[in-house]
Structure 1
Amino acid sequence: MTEEIIIAGFGGQGVLSMGKILAYSGIMQDQEVSWMPSYGPEMRGGTANVTVILSDERISSPYLKLFDTAIILNQQSMDKFEETVKPGGILIYEPNGIHEHPTRTDIDIYQIEATKIATEMGNKKIFNMVVLGAYLKAKPVVELENVIQGLEKSLSERYHHLIPLNKEAITKGMEHIQKYEVIETVS
């Protein structure tokens, strides 16, 4: 099994940390892992993306042009990465701020209203964990206990008291992911 993932959005949405947690989770499952971040000079508000590869075999290169899964958190990323999902792959997106929804019919598309869920939970910083939960429901490539261990590895110890909240956010994401159906228009 090899899973090639792109996670893309604005800086400050937890894109890189979501990728790091997935990478640590893969390590906990004795998988080969690649985590390759890409971001502009801006800390918040600029675009950021991370490529994560989880595999049972050696990873030959971290550079990818096509992905099994794209997790999209803003319109710029939708514009750039929708076409990079392999036919039969998965695209998961947060519809808040997306005005041009995906149009492909050769992939499975899901929505997760992570902004709304994180706000309802009282902490907008868990947005990325809601998205991660949605992804793990659509494609359970790592086990939840390994994700929790990944959280422990990637979070500074002073934030370990937030792990139960993060676990709850992952569960909410799993519960609230929705399949998105593309409505084809006839020209």
Structure 2
Amino acid sequence: MMKKEFLIAGFGGQGVLSMGLFLAYGGIAEGKKVTYVPSYGAEMRGGTANCLVILSDRDISSPLISDPGIVVAMNQPSLAKFEPVVRPGGVLLINSSLAHRPAERQDITSYSIPAQEIANQVGLPRGANMVMLGALLEISKVLDFAASEDYLVKTFRGKYLNMMPLNLAAMEAGAQFIRNF
């Protein structure tokens, strides 16, 4: 049985909800059962944002997750708030560009990823989320990475199509960072 539970957290404007939506659309396209629960503050940018995503090959009884297997922390407040809830044996991805400490827990696997610096290197200054998404896909193996362009088109609904090559490059750079970790 395959069931992957994700919590992605950061602040508004970082693309946190888009990352979750990408996972949801990709899961649907690949015939998986999917739940996607976004949560965000009243602010459009700068407020808190997170989402819960479950991908499974069986029915999902509840969209809520108390101990996700994989957490993505895009900033320091998210790292502080959500590191404690990662399931023992789970994975924590830390955007070390904005979260300036490593994981404290010893019972999880953590990766500190300089997502902003990697995004800048590929020419996509606002692409830290795409770098982290590529890393997440490489670690979880939950979706077919080769189909990423199709899932991005669905996620952004035609917006930013001119940015597709850079988004894909940022995702590949994030996946490569994990391969070289």
Q: Give 4+ residue runs of structure 1 displaced > 3 Å after superposition.
A: none
Q: Pairwise CA RMSD of aligned residues?
A: 1.4
Preserved CA contact (<8 Å) 1:29 1:146: no
Q: Give the TM-score taking structure 2 as reference length.
A: 0.93
Letter in 2 for 1:117: I
- Is the CA contact 1:31–1:55 (under 8 Å) kept in the aligned structure 2? yes
> Radius of gyration: which is bigger?
1
Task: Give the corresponding residue for 2:79.
Answer: 78
In the alignment, the residues of structure 2 paired with residue 151 and residue 97 of structure 1 have an alpha-carbon distance, to the nearest angstrom, of: 24
Greater relative CO, 1 or 2 (CA 8 Å, sep 6+): 1
- Bigger shift: 55-64 or 145-154? 145-154
**Structure 2 counterpart of 1:124:** 125
More divergent stretch after superposition (23-32 vs 145-154): 145-154
- 1:69-102 Cα shifts (integer Å, max 9, x gaps): 0000111111111011111110001112323431
Displacement, 1:57?
0.5
Q: What is the CA deviation profile of residues 143-165 of structure 1, one whole-angstrom value per residue up to 9, with x for unaligned ones? A: 11333221111113242232222
For residues 110-162 of structure 1, the C-alpha deviation after alignment (integer angstroms, 9 at most, x for no partner) is: 12111001122222222211100111122211111333221111113242232
> Which structure 2 residue ranges, 5 or more long, are not aligned?
none
Alignment of 1:5-154 (within 5 A): 5-154=6-155
Give the TM-score, by structure 1 length.
0.90
| Paired amino acid for 2:36 | W
User: Does the CA contact (< 8 Å) of 1:28 and 1:146 recur in 2?
Assistant: no
| CA distance in structure 2 between the partners assigned to 1:174 and 1:99 by the alignment | 21
Identity %: 45
Letter paired with 2:121:
E
After superposition, the Cα gap between the structure-2 partners of 1:39 and 1:158, relative to the gap in structure 1 and judged at 3 Å, is: closer
Report if aligned partners of 1:26, 1:146 keep a CA contact under 8 Å in 2.
no
Contact persistence 2:8–2:71 (CA under 8 A): yes
Counterpart contact for 2:36–2:52, Cα < 8 Å: yes
Q: Residues 44-70 of structure 1, C-alpha deviation per residue, up to 9 Å, x if partnerless?
A: 111110101000001111111110100
